[in-house]
Amino acid sequence: MPVKRFDKTPMPTQVAGMRAHNFLEVNEGYTEDHARFEAERCLRCQDPICVTGCPVGVPIPQFIHAVALGDMQGASRLLRSANPLASVCGRVCAQENQCEARCSLAGRFNPVAIGHLERFVADWERTQTQEAKPQITRTEKVAIIGSGPAGLVCAGELARLGYSVTIYEALHAPGGVLRYGIPEFRLPKDILDWEISLLTDLGVKIECNVIIGRTLSLDQLTTKMGYSAVFIGTGAGLPQFLGIPGENLVGVYSANEYLTRVNLMRGYSADADTPVAHGESVAIVGAGNTAMDAVRTAMRMGASKAMVIYRRSETEMSAREEEYHHAKEEGVEFHWLTNPLEIIDDGNGRVSGLRCQRMVLGEPDKSGRARPVAIPDSEFVIPVDNVVLAIGTTPNPMLTRTTAGLSTTPSGCIVADERTGSTSRSLVFAGGDAVSGAATVILAAGAGKRAASAIHETLNPG
Ligand SMILES: Cc1cc2nc3c(=O)[nH]c(=O)nc-3n(C[C@H](O)[C@H](O)[C@H](O)COP(=O)(O)OP(=O)(O)OC[C@H]3O[C@@H](n4cnc5c(N)ncnc54)[C@H](O)[C@@H]3O)c2cc1C
């Protein structure tokens, strides 16, 4: 592959015109030659600051050095010791804002492709026979509520310390957003299944279809069921709506519902009987990772026109760089500085269009981003069959409303210590999106990891 030394080794991908119509993974992964070539770009800095950009503290220069030497076993041991979800994070982390942003090469040249190398090593590990696993050696049992990255990582860390761990998950399959939100073309479910199988091999039990706060209460876990500690990793899965007319029309979805129908309920497969729209013209409102996933899914579901509607500009959008780049390549339309005012009824209760107004950017708001301001008399209608709202989510109140003594913020997030995850309830810990509000996989994983060590220190001090 002809690459300049200071460029990142490009990630091989499926051709855009083809992949926009299938659910196969877009990125095809490095070969060993690519990986070693890219690893040799690492400067092995004396005082590496890339590591400070990683919320789980992956020993980045060391694992990359091992890749450069062709020691994949060593690289995978180093990686796995710090990141129990490496094959997931290698695919979905926004490295450009984290480790790669702090790479010494980043200022003048392209940073080392740390994420692509992480994915390569984790995928290599998947082809190897797994080593003997630690056993349950302790008497204390720990319950984990929610099987997203926070819960999975917390469970894995505790199992490695010898605790008996059970995860309770409301849905019928584990993984949280990694299962129901992030599509197959970005994170194949066999990768997730493999990561989860490593946990069940350690002895972690997973009970699906159990809603804590409905099927069982948190108090039942700690009293009748004998759990010594509980970790809450219930995420932020409650969708927000715009509050504009027409949101109840047939053909309007929250992105969570739309993606769940397609990913978790296999709506993409011809042999699944999941009711999900196959609109010709689909508008996604919002410009974060969820919006990119929804719009690219709509294309793959057969839309001839799939568009992103965002009231701010390209500069303010929060989606990962790679997702935006791939979406553009696949033919997604972007309508910047466009604010939806009404979803239009076709007269039979179905969506026929989106009435919008044009915006300009004003002074920064509380978030520090430029505030969008409406341009008078700039309204117009975009004809659409479906509207998918991807404008944010908040924590689901089911558990917090049914659990006495668990403090929450006004926005419904659980109050928890940042370092330990301890909450207002003794021996109840929390982390991930349920505490921070909607954030990222690696931050949730980091919170799960810190809470696991705090639970261990609490149950077995010294
Ligand atoms: C579509 C989409 C795309 C994203 N893309 C990216 C990306 O590319 N990169 C990135 O870093 N981040 C991304 N994110 C954000 C990231 O996925 C989340 O920050 C992360 O999954 C949070 O992990 P968590 O473990 O806190 O919660 P979740 O992953 O939300 O998992 C929580 C789990 O708890 C379960 N649960 C909830 N309440 C209960 C209850 N009462 N009882 C039992 N179980 C319960 C839920 O069913 C769920 O399975 C994306 C998010 C979405 C929605």
Cα(395) to ligand 1 centroid in Å equals 10
- Identify the residue whose C-alpha is closest to ligand 1 atom 13: 440
Mutate which of 196, 234, 238 for ligand 1 pocket (most atoms within 8 A of beta carbon) = 234
Assess whether the C-beta atom of 111 lies below 6 angstroms from ligand 1: no
CA–CA dist 424, 245 (Å, integer)? 40
CA–CA dist 185, 20 (Å, integer)? 10
Assess whether the C-beta atom of 148 lies below 6 angstroms from ligand 1: yes
Mutate which of 396, 413, 441 for ligand 1 pocket (most atoms within 8 A of beta carbon) = 441
Cα(396) to ligand 1 centroid in Å equals 11
Boundaries of CATH 1.10.1060.10 in the chain? 16-126
Boundaries of CATH 3.50.50.60 in the chain? 141-236+394-459, 241-391
- The pLDDT of residue 1 is 46
Place of tokens 């926005």: 411
- Please tell me the CATH superfamily of domain 141-236+394-459, with its number: FAD/NAD(P)-binding domain (3.50.50.60)
Pairing status of strand 252-254 against strand 238-239: unpaired
- The pLDDT of residue 2 is 46
DSSP string of 102-120, one letter each residue: G-TTTTTSPPP-HHHHHHH
Mutate which of 145, 264, 289, 295 for ligand 1 pocket (most atoms within 8 A of beta carbon) = 289
Assigned architecture for domain 241-391: 3-Layer(bba) Sandwich (3.50)
Assess whether the C-beta atom of 298 lies below 6 angstroms from ligand 1: no
**Which of 203, 132, 143, 28 is CA-nearest to residue 425?**
143
Q: Residue 404: CB partners within 8 Å, gap ≥ 6? A: 219
Assess whether the C-beta atom of 428 lies below 6 angstroms from ligand 1: no
Assess whether the C-beta atom of 448 lies below 6 angstroms from ligand 1: no
> Tens-of-pLDDT digits for all 462 residues of the chain?
444 567 899 999 999 999 999 999 999 999 999 999 999 999 999 899 999 989 999 999 999 999 999 999 999 999 999 999 999 999 999 999 999 999 999 888 899 999 999 999 999 999 997 765 778 899 999 999 999 999 999 999 999 999 999 999 999 999 999 999 999 999 999 999 999 999 999 999 999 999 999 999 999 999 999 999 999 999 999 999 999 999 999 999 999 999 999 999 988 888 888 888 889 999 999 999 999 999 999 999 999 999 999 999 999 999 999 999 999 999 999 999 999 999 999 999 999 999 999 999 999 888 788 899 999 999 999 999 999 999 999 999 999 999 999 999 999 999 999 999 999 999 999 999 999 999 999 999 999 999 999 999 999 998
Assess whether the C-beta atom of 213 lies below 6 angstroms from ligand 1: yes
Assess whether the C-beta atom of 287 lies below 6 angstroms from ligand 1: no
Assess whether the C-beta atom of 398 lies below 6 angstroms from ligand 1: yes
Assess whether the C-beta atom of 320 lies below 6 angstroms from ligand 1: yes
CA–CA dist 394, 3 (Å, integer)? 43
Place of tokens 């702090």: 102
Place of tokens 């899965």: 237
- The pLDDT of residue 367 is 79
- The pLDDT of residue 273 is 86
CA–CA dist 133, 259 (Å, integer)? 35
CA–CA dist 347, 46 (Å, integer)? 68
Distances (CA, A) of 314 to 287, 288, 361: 9, 11, 11
Q: Residue 256: CB partners within 8 Å, gap ≥ 6? A: 180, 181, 237, 239, 290, 393
- Identify the residue whose C-alpha is closest to ligand 1 atom 49: 176
Distances (CA, A) of 65 to 74, 79, 114: 10, 12, 12
Instruction: Calculate ∠ Cα 267-339-436, nearest 5°.
Output: 65
Cα(432) to ligand 1 centroid in Å equals 8
Express the helix, strand and coil content of the chain in percent, nearest 5 each: 35, 20, 45
Assess whether the C-beta atom of 432 lies below 6 angstroms from ligand 1: yes
Assess whether the C-beta atom of 259 lies below 6 angstroms from ligand 1: yes
Cα(452) to ligand 1 centroid in Å equals 18
Cα(352) to ligand 1 centroid in Å equals 32
Pairing status of strand 380-383 against strand 351-364: antiparallel
CATH topology for 16-126?
A: Fumarate Reductase Iron-sulfur Protein; Chain B, domain 2 (1.10.1060)
Residue ranges of E strands in 240-376: 252-254, 281-285, 305-309, 333-335, 338-345, 351-364, 370-374
| CA-CA-CA-CA dihedral for 62, 64, 65, 67, to nearest 10 | 130
CA–CA dist 168, 171 (Å, integer)? 9
Cα(30) to ligand 1 centroid in Å equals 27
| CA-CA-CA-CA dihedral for 433, 436, 441, 443, to nearest 10 | -150
Is residue 321 classed exposed, middle or buried when 0-12, 13-18 and 19+ CB atoms within 10 A define those classes? exposed
